[in-house]
Amino acid sequence: MTAISVAGLVKTFGATRALDGLDLEVSTGEVHGFLGPNGSGKSTTIRVLLGLLRPDAGQVRLLDGDPWRDAVALHRRLAYVPGDVTLWPNISGGESIDLLGRLQGGLDPRRRAELLDRFDLDPRKKARTYSKGNRQKVALVAALASDAELLVLDEPTSGLDPLMEAVFQGCIREVRAEGRTVLLSSHILAEAEALCDRVSIIRHGRTVQSGSLDELRHLTRTAITAETVRPAAGLESLAGVHDLRHEDGRVRFDVDTDALDGALRHLTGLGVVSLTSAPPTLEELFLRHYGDELADDGTAAREPVRS
């Protein structure tokens, strides 16, 4: 069962190619992380999925419909939290929640009250007096109090404090337990690691990596710290071992997943006193995919800038 299916999506704005053949598959009932740095095309993709932008090329299916043609019918079944929530300055937060909920197809008043309480949001304040985080809470309460089968969340927590981040994660777990689908765009990797079943990483409007977190971890390295009886020599000659350093009688290195077994055998031969291994984080996945971009930026800076 597929909730969202995107293949070869292209969207251009004048000379800018915002989406350049993007692919995205989201199964029903999963929390799907949609990751990428600023300007990589996450929000543009989401706006195409919502029928706000018309794709230039590619196939887009959302809840078995065409997001452009069937926008209104599909929107009854989804709820959306924009990345940059702007509200009507003269309308209170509570009124905005009710309005958006009613336009979406109704919200559960008990859940609304409960969410206001959990997010610690004063619904009587006019939107102009809300901080960025509070505006985001308004959109989150409106979306979470609905019974939409698909939640489309565009960097929903970028203005929330850590306490509210925890509340948000609790809410998303409940949504998943109810069998609903979530598309969660983010650049906060800890959040994606904590919540997502699968992730897609995009860059420059293309999908560069997609899969479950387990699958993706195979593509990266495990960090090992070990203390051995005999001096840890010979590791540097093993294939797949990187960034080897000796500190305070310990040895630290990163090792490719397929070379892990050989590295551990080598260590046990030296007499292991203590060993810690850290699984690869999404942070490292991210840095590996965007590391070359950082290097590109370094060379680009030396070239004359045209604009």
Partner 1 sequence: MSTQLSEAPARPTAPDRPGRSSTTTGTAALFRFALRRDRVRLTVWIAAGTAMVALQSVSSQSFYDSPGALAAYRASVGSNAATIALAGPPVGLDTVAGAVAFEISATVMLIAALMAMFTVTRHTRADEEAGRTELLRSARVGRHAPLLAAVLLAALACAALAVAVGLGATATGLPATGSFVLGASFGAAGQVFTGITAVAVQVTGHTRSVYGLVGGLFAVFFVLRAVGDIEGNWVVWTSPIGWAQAAHPFSDDAVLPLLLCLVVAVVLVLGGFALLDRRDLGAGLTQPRPGRASATPWLRSPLGLAVRLQRGALLAWVLGLALLGVVYGALADSVETLIAGNEEALAVFGDPDVDDLVSAYLSTTFSITALLAAAYAVSSVLRARTEESDQRAEPVLATATSRSAWLGSHVAVALVGSALAMTASGVTTGVVRVLQTGEAAAFGRMVGAALAYVPAVWVVAGIAVALFGLLPRLAAALSWAAVGLFLVITMFAESFDWPGWVGDLSPVSWVPLMPLEPWTTGPVLVLTALAGALLAASFAGFRRRDLATG
Binding site for partner 1 (CB under 8 A): 43-44, 47, 50, 52-54, 71-73, 75-76, 78, 80, 82, 84-92, 94-95, 97-100, 102-105, 123-126, 128-129, 139, 152
- For the chain, the distance separating the N- and C-terminal CA atoms, rounded to the nearest angstrom, is 45
Nearer to partner 1, 103 or 295 (CB): 103
Shortest spacing between CB 40 and partner 1, in angstroms: 15
Rg (CA), the chain: 23
- Nearer to partner 1 by C-beta: 102 or 173? 102
Q: Which is nearer to partner 1, 52 or 273 (CB)?
A: 52
Closest approach, Cβ 36 to partner 1, in A, equals 17
* CB 81 to partner 1: min, Å: 8
Instruction: Identify which of residues 7 and 73 has a Cβ nearer to partner 1 in the complex.
Output: 73
CB of 128 to partner 1, least distance (A): 7
Closer to partner 1 by CB, 158 or 281: give it. 158
CB of 126 to partner 1, least distance (A): 5
Q: Residue 306 CA to chain centroid, in angstroms?
A: 32
Give the whole-angstrom CA distance, residue 275 versus residue 187: 31
Length of the chain as a residue count: 307
Give least dist CB 100 to partner 1, A: 6
- DSSP collapsed to 3 states, the chain: CEEEEEEEEEEEECCEEEEEEEEEEEECCCEEEEECCCCCCHHHHHHHHCCCCCCCEEEEEECCECCCCCHHHHHCCEEEECCCCCCCCCCEHHHHHHHHHHHHCCECHHHHHHHHHHCCCCCCCEHHHCCHHHHHHHHHHHHHCECCCEEEEECCCCCCCHHHHHHHHHHHHHHHHCCCEEEEEECCHHHHHHHCCEEEEEECCEEEEEEEHHHHHCCCEEEEEEEECCCCCCHHHCCCEEEEEEECCEEEEEEEHHHHHHHHHHHHCCCEEEEEEECCCHHHHHHHHHHHHHHHHHHHHHCCCCC
Question: From the CB of 59, what's the least distance to partner 1, in Å?
Answer: 19
Of residues 50 and 270, the one with the C-beta less far from partner 1: 50
Closest CB to partner 1 among residues 16, 299: 16
Rounded Cα gap, residues 305 and 84, in angstroms: 30
CB of 203 to partner 1, least distance (A): 20
Q: Which is nearer to partner 1, 15 or 177 (CB)?
A: 15
